[in-house]
Structure 1
Amino acid sequence: MLNDLMEKRKKTLAESEEHKNRRNELNANASKFARERNTLNNQTREFVEEAQKNKDLRDKYNQEVLDIKAQRNELNDKANVLFEDIESFKKEHGTQKNRGVKELQKQIEYMEYRQQTEVFTTDKERELIEKIKQMKGQVREQEAELEQNKEMRTKITEAREFRKQASDLHAKVTEVAELAQKHHDLMVESYRKADKSREAADAAHKSFVEAQESADSEHKFFIACQKELRDYDKVISGLRKKTKKVKVTKEQKAVRKEAESLFKNFRAGEKLTTDDILLLQRSKLI
């Protein structure tokens, strides 16, 4: 029975070691996944912060675009008022030979806008540039005629200056709008990276939870094996003590029997050796 118990204890001990090793391996994996998750979460926060910075810059530049456009429109309005006065003067004095300066200027601005924003063949673009050149020539001709009048000359100079300032602001609008678009694109890219990083962090967290749960399960099996080993140790220890006690009792009986035989011989007159006397004393017969 003792041998059977020892064999079962050996098997349980092996199972306990397997569960312990597997638990330790799973805990190590869980720690690795936790580190990956934490790194990815930090990365996600950095991407979100970067996106927010670019969003703030985009909004700032968009507001600048609105402000500059308002200034540009105000300058254009001032120029238009002056050009309307010039047109009225031309009508009153019969000097209008071609289309009005204001109308020509609008046509020029429209064609220049098309040139900047549309795609043309080389021939078509050359043709458009030539038209713009001709219209500008007509504007100069009409303005040269009007400049003979001092008052009109002053208004034309002011109107040109307003147009120039408005044109400069329009260039500024384009520049700032491009900055706003740049930061918008950077914001979108940062949010895209944040989403990707967040997905990876969620996957790492899922792996962490699975590894941790498996480690906990292996730990429970390990604890159960440890309890079983303690139970085996108690039973085996008890059996060993009992076996030892039985052995001692048998030895004591054998010694007693031998001592009684020696004592009988002693009483019959036989001589005793020193060892015989010690044996009789240990058996408490003398």
Structure 2
Amino acid sequence: QHEVVEKLAERAQKEHEEMIALVNRLDNYIRRVNEIQEEIVNTKIRADDIHREFISYVDRIHELERKIVSLQEASHRRKKSEKMSSLHKEANEIFERFKRGEKLSTEDLMMLQKAGLI
């Protein structure tokens, strides 16, 4: 009977040591999981910061694109206005020649018609 008690005590000791080893492994796993979770949170925070910065750059690009379009439209209007001004000036000169009785070409007459002077 004493042998049985000793064997059971040895077995209990062995089981206890295995349990302690498993608890230690579990503690290590828990510690590692916590580290990984912290890394995930930090990575998400960095990703959010980078995303906000990206959105800021996209907004700035759109703002610059709108300015470029606006400047292109203004340039186009200015060129068109300058061209119309030049055409009207030329048409007025032709009209003055017409009033003086000078001979006008077909092209001159078309210019006067285009300018609404005849």
Using the size of structure 2 for normalisation, the TM-score is: 0.78
Compute the displacement of 1:229 (Å): 2.8
Match of 2:53 among 201, 205, 221: 221
Conserved? CA contact 1:259–1:283, under 8 Å: yes
Identity, % of aligned positions? 26
Compute the displacement of 1:281 (Å): 2.5
Which letter does structure 2 place at the counterpart of 1:216? D
Aligned to 2:84: 252
Larger Rg: 1
Conserved? CA contact 1:266–1:272, under 8 Å: no
Aligned to 2:17: 185
Aligned to 2:111: 279
Compute the displacement of 1:279 (Å): 2.5
Matches within 5 A, 1:189-200: 189-200=21-32
Compute the displacement of 1:207 (Å): 2.0
Aligned to 2:5: 173
Matches within 5 A, 1:1-286: 169-267=1-99, 268-273=101-106, 275-286=107-118
Q: 1: distance between equivalents of 2:13 and 2:117?
A: 115
Q: 1: distance between equivalents of 2:5 and 2:108?
A: 126
Q: 1: distance between equivalents of 2:25 and 2:15?
A: 15
Q: 1: distance between equivalents of 2:18 and 2:102?
A: 120
Q: 1: distance between equivalents of 2:109 and 2:26?
A: 97
Q: 2: distance between equivalents of 1:279 and 1:199?
A: 88
Conserved? CA contact 1:263–1:280, under 8 Å: yes
Q: 2: distance between equivalents of 1:186 and 1:285?
A: 109
Higher relative contact order (CA 8 A, sep 6+): 1
Structure 2 spans left out of the alignment, 5+ residues: none
Q: 1: distance between equivalents of 2:109 and 2:45?
A: 72
What are the Cα deviations for residues 133-168 of structure 1, in whole angstroms up to 9, with x where unaligned? xxxxxxxxxxxxxxxxxxxxxxxxxxxxxxxxxxxx
What are the Cα deviations for residues 158-188 of structure 1, in whole angstroms up to 9, with x where unaligned? xxxxxxxxxxx33333333333222212111
Which letter does structure 2 place at the counterpart of 1:220? R
Using the size of structure 1 for normalisation, the TM-score is: 0.37
Q: 2: distance between equivalents of 1:196 and 1:204?
A: 12
RMSD: 2.2
Q: 1: distance between equivalents of 2:22 and 2:6?
A: 24
3-state DSSP of counterpart to 2:14 = helix
Compute the displacement of 1:254 (Å): 0.4
Q: 1: distance between equivalents of 2:5 and 2:17?
A: 18
Q: 2: distance between equivalents of 1:196 and 1:185?
A: 17
What are the Cα deviations for residues 185-229 of structure 1, in whole angstroms up to 9, with x where unaligned? 211111111111111222222222222222222222222233333
The number of residue pairs the alignment matches comes to 117
Q: 2: distance between equivalents of 1:269 and 1:204?
A: 94
Q: 1: distance between equivalents of 2:109 and 2:11?
A: 117
